[in-house]
Structure 1
Amino acid sequence: MRSLRSAQTLAFRSLSSVRPLHGAVPPAAAGARSCASLVPPPRLPPPSSRIVPPGVAGAVSFSLTFATLAAAEAKAKERPPTDLLPQNVVLYQYQACPFCNKVRAFLDYHDIPYKVVEVNPLSKKEIKWSDYKKVPILTVDGEQLVDSSDIINILQRRIRPDDDLTNEDEAKWRRWVDEHLVHILSPNIYRTTSEALESFDYISKHGNLIKSQLCSVYPSVNPFISYFEFRGNFSFTERFAVKYAGAAAMYMVSKKLKKKYNITDERASLYEAANTWVEALDGRDFLGGSKPNLADLAVFGVLRPIRYLRSGKDMVENTKIGDWYQRMEDAVGEPSRIQE
């Protein structure tokens, strides 16, 4: 397992760092083929004059090794046992959709390999086979799972059958993500015309969230959205026009979403949500304690698409959520997505 190998490597480094206490010669001084090997090693004092007794050195070595292993374990991905690891996982998604990002955060953290199928939000031809016409859809060894929270619940029971899913605090914050946090995001990333332009430019390169939102809020604009599907057939002037028309459209969408969810000040709502989450941590590294739980992964997942947009940068600069977010980035690590 990757986490075990990482822990073993860190433990070896820790042991290597304390060997001089026992009088062993460092590898570089023992004949490494480099310029450093030409420099005579410093003379060590005789054993009787050493400050650290062997017993104390052994205790230090053990303590350092234990601490290193503990730190590695705290940051390691939580990959399930081999016999419980799904073998064929496919995620049907919009890349920038917060609900799809929730599922990806779970898969990445648990190091579950998965393939991705990007769904066209207009034709949805990639999911014609399914009666469910929303994303995310996850197929696991041929079985279809739908709805982000249900997908995660089912997967969690499969890979951690002994874990308890009835933690009320965890469940409360997962509901808060679905019912409150996600609705604050779009009004923030399209808050002004300049932010709408930045977001449109970024997300149009990373997924279909814009088009899916337009379809859901303004179904009558489908012909307008189809014009966004340029792939090099348009002139520079046409592309420029499409980019700015898209930004303007999303700016209007954000105003409608703001009214729908009764948001008066977008940034204030975002900052309040971030601070509310930090308060829920109550000084812990994660809501789950020393390791992320499902609520941590849900908050991280829905915030990930905006983190490096202006709204996400403002959130980190004006609240205390940044440290937690960085810990989550470290814990989730590299995507376990299978590149095709």
Structure 2
Amino acid sequence: MGISYSVVEVDAVLRQDIRWSDVKKVPMVLIRQQDGKYVQMTDSSAIISLVASSLHDKRIDVGELAQFYPQISYFDDNGKKRQDILNKYFLMYQDRTPKNMTREIEETERKWRTWADNHLVHLISPNCYQTFEEALETFEWFALAGEWDIHFPKWERDLMVYCGATAMWVIAKILKRRHQLTDDVRSHMYDALNKWTAELKKQNTKFMGGKKPGLADLSVFGVLSSMEGCQTFKDCLQNTNIGKWFYDVKELVQQNRGKLLRERIVGVPALAQ
């Protein structure tokens, strides 16, 4: 059985639930250390690596492991300040590397996790928000999946849906140009998914991790599950072979997940320094 956890739905417009945080970026995770303080980690890939490292060797406190994933600032080629997390695709095995883990397996896993972050995820917005109708449909899906009707008053739920859809419809056009996508944005998504399934066929394995999903599988699954209720995803099921792999991963995720609780918060205990 997996780890039980609470999910806090954050209003992307007002952001009341993360006012306490210096970092205004989601996803983020708070994990309680042995001393009762919380470790805060942002970036989905860093979160995956931290949690996977902790599950691998429970002797080491999660706060100690988090120190291997420091946040850094740098300036990109355009002179814009960026932030990132070091080692976010690396698991900290210490002196307990799994016997079946080879350098080749680790490098392949990091390659596809990086691909999911640097390529696949950038195809989501230009596809899911390419028209206002699709943008609105996408936010209605978010509202359904996140149970916004339960956790937010109607005025706030509608604010999130309509303001969010409008903003992302505009932003999607900017992202399309930034990532040099053609007007046929669906074709880029199909090409990416075909590349993934072609690699699975080449390896002759059910999952990229072999007989069971690995972290690369979970990374790609996480990206695609964010648009599962959208027209883009329906089109992908019809025009690629991604469906079998996706639902095989989803079945195992649901079978092994811990207890999920959705809630709202107004503050958190002291964070680790």
Q: Which bin holds the TM-score, normalised by the shorter protein?
A: 0.5 to 0.7
Residue in 2 that maps onto 1:336: 258
Paired residues of 1:115 and 1:338 also in contact (CA < 8 A): yes
C-alpha deviation, 1:120, in angstroms: 2.9
Distance, in Å, in 2 between the alignment partners of 1:242 and 1:293 is 34
The question of whether the paired residues in 1 share the 8 Å contact of 2:109 and 2:215 is answered with yes
CA deviation string 1:205-254 (max 9, x = no partner): 4459xxxxxxxxxxxxxxxxxxxx972599xxxx7x99777645433222
Q: Secondary structure at the match of 1:262?
A: coil
Show the counterpart of 1:294. 215
Instruction: Answer whether contact 1:190 1:251 (CA < 8 A) is retained.
Output: yes
- Please tell me whether residue 173 in structure 1 is matched to residue 64 in structure 2: no
Contact 2:141 / 2:229 at 8 angstroms: preserved in 1?
A: no
Residue among 257, 264, 269 paired with 2:188: 269
Report if the CA contact (8 A) 2:12-2:164 is conserved: no
Deviation track 1:134-173 (CA, whole Å, cap 9, x = no partner) reads 1222121222222221121121111113445950000000
Q: CA deviation at 1:198?
A: 1.9
Contact persistence 1:116–1:337 (CA under 8 A): no
Is 1:133 matched up with 2:24?
A: yes
Report the 3-state secondary structure (helix = DSSP H, G, I; strand = E; otherwise coil) of the residue aligned with 1:339: strand
1:117 maps to which residue? Answer: 8
Quote the Cα distance in structure 2 between the aligned partners of 1:123 and 1:245.
11
Conservation of the 8 A alpha-carbon contact between 1:286 and 1:292: yes
Structure 2: distance between partners of 1:256 and 1:233: 26
Q: Using the aligned pairs only, state the percent identity.
A: 39
Q: Indicate whether 1:183 and 2:122 are aligned.
A: yes
Please name the residue that 2:56 is paired with.
160
Q: What TM-score comes out, normalization by structure 1 length? A: 0.54
Deviation at 1:127, TM superposition (A): 2.7
In 1, Cα distance between the equivalents of 2:250 and 2:190? Answer: 20
Higher relative contact order structure (alpha carbons within 8 Å, sequence separation ≥ 6): 2
Alignment CA distance shift 1:252-1:130 (3 Å): closer
Q: Please, which of 239, 242, 254 is the counterpart of residue 172 of structure 2?
A: 254
Inter-partner Cα distance in structure 2 for 1:247 and 1:333: 29
Aligned counterpart, 2:154: 231
The within-5 A match list for 1:62-81 is 79=1
Q: Aligned equivalents of 1:336 and 1:297: distance in 2?
A: 16
Q: d(CA) in 1 for partners of 2:208 and 2:161?
A: 40
1:202 matched to 2:109? The reply is no
Q: Number of aligned residue pairs: give it.
A: 206
Residue 154 of structure 2 aligns to a residue whose secondary structure is: coil
Which residue matches 1:89? none
Please name the residue that 1:220 is paired with: none
What SS class does the counterpart of residue 145 from structure 1 fall into? strand
Q: 1:245 to 1:263 in 2, by over 3 A?
A: same
Q: CA RMSD in A?
A: 2.9
Alpha-carbon shift at residue 274 of structure 1 (Å): 0.5
Quote the Cα distance in structure 1 between the aligned partners of 2:205 and 2:174: 37
How far 1:337 moved relative to its partner? 4.0
Q: Distance in 2 between matches of 1:156 and 1:243?
A: 34
> For 1:133 and 1:244, how far apart are their aligned partners in 2?
21
Q: State the 1:263 CA deviation.
A: 1.0
